[in-house]
Structure 1
């Protein structure tokens, strides 16, 4: 396979207050690493229920740091310029991932949508994502790591709102029994905004252990006849596996035309495991993905 998309999710190591090492060093290492996509994670949606103290509905957090509130950027003042400097070297695109495990982001998104008459128009959430897009022009894709609420109507509407603001979309599914949900959402968006969903980041580790990208691609084709799944799925692994373990997993997918690359969870863990030379760790995992997916 050529032109692989090799992505990495990055959490606190990408924010000044929580960085493991100077972020400018991380950016430089990323640009030399061979990773092509950085996925900043995880962003969360503020809520005024089931949390103390209550937050403002629709505000945007990066992990536990409030970054956009009521239409204004309120995060670390150096962060936008750092994030916007990331594209370069091997990095060609930057994404922002919303959700993850043990959160209520997509329940909150549904609540905002329904409380506003089944619309995001004029909401704090819409205004904040407009500010997000202008503050971080380097972030062109929103990744949906929805693990808490499978409501198709609000999720599709949320994607359509983001697309209208200027973002593309990726999905990050993991549970095999949720395939119909993701297929249905893709079908709706493919009809309303063809091409806006760029790819899927399929978790093939932890709760997604045993996932086979080809199975997911076959289901997409059954749900959306004629949909081109070639290169549409990135197979994901985590840092609990060594580079050789990642390479072995990728080798099991190398003959599947739907696989367009792979991703690693997370950059933070790579930096922690290779404290003396984080760049060598990044390159080791990039090489594991590219070698595993190469066809000799």
Structure 2
């Protein structure tokens, strides 16, 4: 990845009801993989090598890799057996972090919105050594409460919840990063959807992305910008470099 991107978020990972971690395929030709079970990484060396290469390959500018997950089973597992270091969930996330050399876990909760379990889970991940990030598209009141509680007593650069990626496409198409920054008390990284054939109306060309990011950043200084979904760049024959240049020129 030599196109100017410095952070990659892998979509998506899911937690099973027993605390195992699945990596769910989202591209044609690939399959779902059980990534961690019973406190051990079981996803195979080929997958681990690929993920680790994002930061180690020659010429890469990537210095942070996150995994994106929904909130399925988190509430139940935080209640029983809880977030302790001896639980399968804790040990599985520790094993996955080591195997994939991960930096953060990204919360893409779009339906459950349980504050207590979200905060407990984030703090568990912090004990393992992860940072925690969120990618909201709605329900700012929930995300404000979560952000405040997770970061209570912490300050930069030691925030546990250290990044907010705001969906500014599809269900979040009308989101204003400046308004979310005011609500959360944190700088925002807005995301737009690149040109795609899944929902063409939500697609953003390179020139449109430049206009959106520049406009948002001129009104409210942002923490950066990003895109969903990089597979669409490949599928549609688009340019990683062109999309990346938008970000590096506006957010040097």
Alignment TM class, shorter chain as reference: 0.7 to 0.9
TM score, norm. by length of structure 1: 0.73
Q: What does 1:89-168 correspond to in 2, within 5 Å? A: 89-99=60-70, 106-116=71-81, 119-121=82-84, 122-137=86-101, 139-168=102-131
Higher relative contact order (CA 8 A, sep 6+): 1
The reply to whether residue 201 of structure 1 matches residue 165 of structure 2 is: yes
Q: CA RMSD in A?
A: 1.8
Instruction: Compute the displacement of 1:290 (Å).
Output: 4.0
Instruction: Compute the displacement of 1:157 (Å).
Output: 0.2
Contact 1:213 1:258 in 2 (8 A): no
Instruction: Compute the displacement of 1:183 (Å).
Output: 0.9
Decide which of 3, 20, 39 is 1:59's aligned counterpart.
Answer: 20
Structure 1 partner of 2:223? 260
How far does the alpha carbon of each residue in 1:259-291 deviate from its partner, in whole angstroms, 9 at most, with x for none? Answer: 1111111111111111xxx6xx11111123344
Q: Work out the CA distance in 1 between the residues paired with 2:104 and 2:80.
A: 26
Structure 1 partner of 2:55? 87
Contact 1:160 1:189 in 2 (8 A): yes
Structure 1 partner of 2:199? none
Contact 2:3 2:245 in 1 (8 A): no
Instruction: Compute the displacement of 1:67 (Å).
Output: 1.1
Q: Greater shift after overlay, 259-268 or 189-198?
A: 189-198
Q: Which runs of 5+ in 2 are unaligned?
A: 25-31, 195-202
Aligned residues: 230
Instruction: Compute the displacement of 1:201 (Å).
Output: 0.3
Q: What does 1:216-231 correspond to in 2, within 5 Å? A: 216-221=180-185, 229=186
Structure 2 partner of 1:14? none
